[in-house]
A = this chain, B = another copy of it.
Amino acid sequence: MEDFVYQNTTKILFGRNAEQKFASEVKAFADRILLVYGGGSIKKNGLYNRIVKQLQDNDIYFVELGGVQPNPLLSLAKTGIELCRTHDLQGILSVGGGSCIDTAKTIAVGVKYCGDVWDFYDGKAEAKTALPIGVILTIPASGSESSDSCVITNDSDANKRAMGSEFIVPRFAVLNPENTTSLSAYQTACGIADIFSHLMERYFTQVNHVDFTDRLLEASMKTLLVNAPKVLKQLDNYDARAEIMWAGTIAHNNLLNTGRIGDWASHMIEHELSGIYDIPHGAGLSIIFPAWMKYVCTHNKSRFIQFAVRVFDVDFPFDDEESIVYEGINRLEAFFSAMGLPTRLHQMNIGNEMFAQMANRCCKKGSVGHFIELHEKDVYQIYCLAK
């Protein structure tokens, strides 16, 4: 086990009535806020009205920034930064999924920075402070509601990049599974694939003696395997929605990588894909992760065997290790496919035209991944395996 420092301060308000209490949490850090949200869904399902009423009842002044889209854009975040400065806003309330939260995080660090906010993503600057953020989560997927990380796409060149800072960890997150029941089966599946990938990025490590977190990760993956079919069969199944929602937060709040070194190559390789083709991040991961596994599995077979046996209950004869490893990957692909997700690029009508360019850009700053270090030619091969 590696030495580590762990702290996660986000206050989680979970359940059917959680939403009723958010205004006092906002009040604790701001009287004047930016309200960030996505398309029209929260206006259709009544959530928008309930939030606005609570803000008004509690004398919280707010300015709106709607229209955040999946694979959120830097340009909209910059608009948000200007709004905060113009109206002297002290905090941000983000209503939605990862795109809304990451837009809020980008605004939060940008407001307090005199340079270009892209500097944080480009490695030219490090956040020293940020506006406080609260979240009302409607899409369990990114884990951004209590994470210290954030991803945004620079619309000038389709460059999708991540940043991390303790200052962007949300102060509170409202998790009401009822707010997720209007998600379509496909949106739900993409979210589950994202959560499952966050667990796998942590699981595939070369660090030894990580028994406790191994088991917690396996428990989390099993939870998704059991509850995904339930919720996809019945989209308003509160109990299954609740399990997935809470697992999604824990999957990415840094608890499950304590003492470990996660991989994260698949996320980097996928970012090039969804940055350019604007496909859902979860659908990109369901394609890239199995390809990555096939490419790297020989570098630590016992880890892939443990994955197959403990997560997917593969009970092949133990003297045939390769079959066990590949059966684990097969069952992962079958899990994604059963949820209606793609596992090959051609299913998304993506050809090999951009492979070289994507591989080049992915490794622009050097190798990616920790399980093994991947270079441009490796990343290119992984795109080929994903064809």
Contacts and interface: CB of A to CB of B under 8 A. Distances in A.
B212 A243 contact: yes
B216 A220 contact: yes
A15 B260 CA distance: 12
A240 to B, nearest CB: 8
B258 A246 contact: yes
Nearest to A253: B255
Interface stretch (A1-9, A109-117, A268-276): A1-9
Contacts of A243: 1, 209, 211-212
Contact of A10 (B1, B2, B7): B7
A11 B223 CA distance: 27
Given A7-B12, A9-B7, A1 B239 contact: yes
A181 to B, nearest CB: 15
A258 B12 CA distance: 10
Nearest to A223: B212
Given A3-B16, A4-B15, A15-B3, A242 B10 contact: no
A14 interface: yes
Nearest to A9: B9
A17 interface: yes
Contact of A215 (B10, B16, B220, B239): B220
A214 B18 CA distance: 22
Nearest to A172: B7
A163 B15 CA distance: 26
A16 B4 CA distance: 10
Contacts of A246: 1, 212-213, 258-259
B5 A259 contact: no
Contact of A219 (B9, B15, B18, B215): B215
Contact of A8 (B8, B15, B219, B258): B8
Interface string A65-97: 000000000000000000000000000000000
A202 to B, nearest CB: 14
A154 interface: no
Contacts of A10: 7
Interface string A202-224: 00000011011101101110110
B5 A12 contact: yes
A15 B259 CA distance: 9
Nearest to A1: B242
A151 interface: no
Can you list the 3 inter-chain pairs with the closest CB atoms, starting with the nearest? A3-B15, A215-B219, A209-B239
29 contacts: A1-B15, A3-B14, A3-B16, A4-B12, A4-B15, A5-B12, A5-B14, A6-B11, A7-B10, A8-B8, A9-B9, A12-B258, A15-B259, A208-B239, A209-B242, A211-B223, A211-B243, A212-B219, A212-B220, A212-B223, A212-B246, A213-B246, A215-B219, A215-B220, A215-B223, A219-B219, A246-B258, A250-B255, A255-B255
Given A6-B12, A211-B226, 5 more contacts: A3-B17, A5-B13, A15-B259, A212-B220, A255-B255
